[in-house]
Amino acid sequence: MTPFQQLLSQSHLAQYRVEPGTRVDLSARDPDETGPFEKKKKARKELERLRTKLIALQDRFYAWNERSLLIVLQAMDTGGKDGTIKHVMRGVNPQGVQVTSFKAPTQEELAHDYLWRVHKAAPRRGRIGIFNRSHYEDVLVVRVHNLVSESVWSKRYDHINDFERLLADSGTVILKFYLHISREEQARRLQARLDNPDKRWKFSKGDLKERRLWDDYMAAYEDALSRCSTEHAPWYVIPSNRKWYRNLAIMSILVNALEDLNPVYPEPEEGLDHIVIE
């Protein structure tokens, strides 16, 4: 296979990766950045080129049935988790993809350890699993709202690293994306939800309460991204004020990860060459 030349280079994408053991400063990362692209148009062409590639790779990944892929999406409200799933996965065979959205835990979930519901949702071999919110909520919203004491949540970073190592050792490739938007961009998007009748259903007054806690969330995110970016499950901070660039960056990282795996179609049964179906 000839190597696929991407307009968004591996070295540029590598800047978004949180190097394990380093400290993330979100205020130093520009959510407006659009890499080598000035305008949406060229990026859109590249996105469609990558989509063709992704669809073919996913088909082989499914047939190969050797490994799993887990995509974790985290963001502030309006950050674009839903939009990322919709636009990046469009055209991919739905049979090979499973999306799990993690809401506030149910009574049954609360009666177990916090990773119980998450482990159950981990993708089986051959599948791409997408977490729309994830176990990271247990060190984000839970920490910001003191839903458990610090002595409880502070132990969770290590649990999470160990849990993700278990998944990785069992054949799961893990990609974690933090969709980085500015507070101003969130204001624009919330206002747009209010102004557009078709988007109002997405607006919740609770979002305003969370918005007031922006700085607390940023601090919690910085800790999660810094402490839980590992070689086996790296975090990427994706500039996400421009939705088209966010989609392209994530698509590129996803295609690169699948290409690195080099999935192959299984060997067919022997002696099929001369069979003619009558």
Residues at the contact surface with ligand ATP, assessed by CB under 6 A: 77, 81-82, 102-105, 133, 137-138, 141-142, 204
Shortest CB 58 distance to ligand ATP, Å: 24
Task: End-to-end CA distance of the chain: give it in Å, rounded.
Answer: 35
* Residues 121, 188 contacting (CB under 8 angstroms): no
DSSP H helical segments within the chain, as ranges? 10-14, 40-64, 81-88, 107-110, 116-120, 141-144, 150-153, 156-169, 183-195, 205-212, 214-227, 243-261
Distance set, CA 178 to CA 73, 175, 228, 235 (Å): 6, 10, 12, 7
* Residues 148, 127 contacting (CB under 8 angstroms): no
Instruction: Name the strands in the sheet holding 172-180, side by side, starting at the edge strand that comes first in the sequence.
Output: 97-101, 128-132, 68-75, 172-180, 235-239
Q: Which is nearer to ligand ATP, 96 or 105 (CB)?
A: 105
Q: Which is nearer to ligand ATP, 64 or 163 (CB)?
A: 163
Shortest CB 5 distance to ligand ATP, Å: 35
Which one-letter DSSP state was computed for residue 17? Answer: B
Q: Rounded to an integer, what distance in angstroms lies between the CA atom of residue 7 and that of residue 173?
A: 24
Closest-by-Cβ residue to ligand ATP is: 137
Q: Which is nearer to ligand ATP, 141 or 219 (CB)?
A: 141
CA dihedral sign of residues 225, 99, 194, 196:
positive
Shortest CB 138 distance to ligand ATP, Å: 5
* Residues 128, 93 contacting (CB under 8 angstroms): no
Shortest CB 105 distance to ligand ATP, Å: 5
Q: Which is nearer to ligand ATP, 51 or 143 (CB)?
A: 143
Q: Which is nearer to ligand ATP, 154 or 256 (CB)?
A: 154
Shortest CB 259 distance to ligand ATP, Å: 30
Q: Which is nearer to ligand ATP, 51 or 81 (CB)?
A: 81
Shortest CB 269 distance to ligand ATP, Å: 46
* Residues 68, 164 contacting (CB under 8 angstroms): no
Shortest CB 55 distance to ligand ATP, Å: 26
* Residues 88, 198 contacting (CB under 8 angstroms): no
What 3-state DSSP class applies to 131?
Answer: strand
Q: Which is nearer to ligand ATP, 133 or 243 (CB)?
A: 133
